[in-house]
Structure 1
Amino acid sequence: MTAWRRTGPPGDGSDGSLRATGQPGEEPDPRFTFANERTFLAWSRTALALVAAGLAITQLLPPFPGIHWGRRALGVPLIVLAAVVAVASYREWDRDQTALRLGRPLPPSALPRIIAVVVAAECVLAAVLVVLSARSGT
C-alpha cells in the first residue's frame, strides 16, 4: 500500500501536488518523528558506550589473579550486547515510526529488559570473578 502526501504546506511555494512516501499511513507530527529519532540516537549512544566499556575491560583492566579468562568473560558480552542494541534500536525506530504513521499505540520496547538482564548478569559474574581471584591470590 502506498501512502501519498502533499509536497509542502500551502503557501510554501510548492505546487501542493501529492507524492508517494513509500510508507503506509499518514505523515506524523514532526515532533513525534523527531522524538522517535532522538530515542534511536540515545540507544545508539548506549551501544557505543557498551562497546567502549567492553573494550576497556578486555584491554585495560588488570588481569584477575589465577583467572586468565576473566577480562574476556566480562568484556565480550558487553560488546555483543552493543551489537544487539544497535540492531534492535533501528528495528524499534522503524516499528515505532510505522505505528506513528498508522495512528496506533507504540509497542513496548524489549531493550530496557535486555540491558537490565545482561548488566545484572555482568554484575554477578564480576562478583564471582573477584571472589575467585581473591581465593587464588591467597
Structure 2
Amino acid sequence: MSDLQDPRVLFAAERTLLAWNRTSLGLIAFGFVVERAGLLMQVLQPEQGALVTLSPAFILGLLFILFGGVCAMVSAWQFSRVLNTLNDNEIPPGYRPRWGMLANVIVAILGLSLAAVLLHLHQ
C-alpha cells in the first residue's frame, strides 16, 4: 500500500507502462522486418534452389516478435500490481487507469497472433 497520497505516482506508473508498450511495438515491428528481409534475401538468391523452411532470419524475426509480445504482457501484469498498491487518494475521481493496461494486453495478443500466423505460413 502506498502512503504518498499523490496522483503523480499513478501517472508515473502509467508513463512507464506506455513506454513498455512502445518498446513492445518496436520489437514486434523489428522482428517482422527481419523476418521479411530474410524472405526477400532467399527470393533474390535463385542459385540456392529451394527455399529453406526455417532460415536464421525467420527464426530471429520470430523471436523478436515473441519477445515483444511477452514484454507487453509482462508490463501489463506489472502495472496491475502497481495499481493494487495505490489507495483511493492516488487515483483521480472518474479516471480509469486500466485502459493503458488493456492496450498492452491487446498488443501482446496481436503480437503473439502475428508470430503464429507467420509460423503457419512458413510451413
Q: Could you state the TM-score of these two structures normalised by the residue count of structure 1?
A: 0.48
The reply on whether 1:50 has 2:27 as its aligned counterpart is yes
Q: For the structure 1 residues 77 and 28, does the alpha-carbon distance in structure 2 shift closer, same or farther, using more than 3 Å as the test? A: farther
Give the counterpart of 1:41 among 18, 21, 28: 18
Give the equivalent residue in structure 1 for 2:87: 101
Give the counterpart of 1:86 among 53, 66, 72: 72
List alignment gaps of at least 5 residues for structure 2: 89-123
What letter corresponds to residue 52 of structure 1 in structure 2?
A: A
Q: Deviations over 1:12-32 (max 9, x none)?
A: xxxxxxxxxxxx888941101
**Higher relative contact order by CA 8 Å / sep ≥ 6: 1 or 2?**
2
What letter corresponds to residue 29 of structure 1 in structure 2?
A: D
Bigger strand share: 1
Bigger helix share: 2
Count residues in correspondence: 78
After the TM superposition, which residues 1-138 of structure 1 pair with which residues of structure 2 at under 5 Å, given as runs? 28-61=5-38, 62-63=41-42, 68=52, 69-101=55-87
Once the two structures are TM-superposed, the CA of residue 101 in structure 1 deviates from its matched residue by 3.3
Distance in 1 between the 2:81 and 2:36 partners? Answer: 37
Of structures 1 and 2, the larger Rg is shown by 1
Identity across matched positions, percent: 32
Once the two structures are TM-superposed, the CA of residue 98 in structure 1 deviates from its matched residue by 1.7
What letter corresponds to residue 71 of structure 2 in structure 1?
A: V
Secondary structure, counterpart of 1:29 in structure 2: coil
Would you identify which runs of 4 or more consecutive aligned residues in structure 1 move more than 6 Å? 24-27
8 Å CA contact 2:37–2:57 kept in 1: the answer is no
8 Å CA contact 2:31–2:65 kept in 1: the answer is yes
Distance in 2 between the 1:28 and 1:88 partners? Answer: 26
Q: Deviations over 1:40-70 (max 9, x none)?
A: 000000000000100000112434x879411
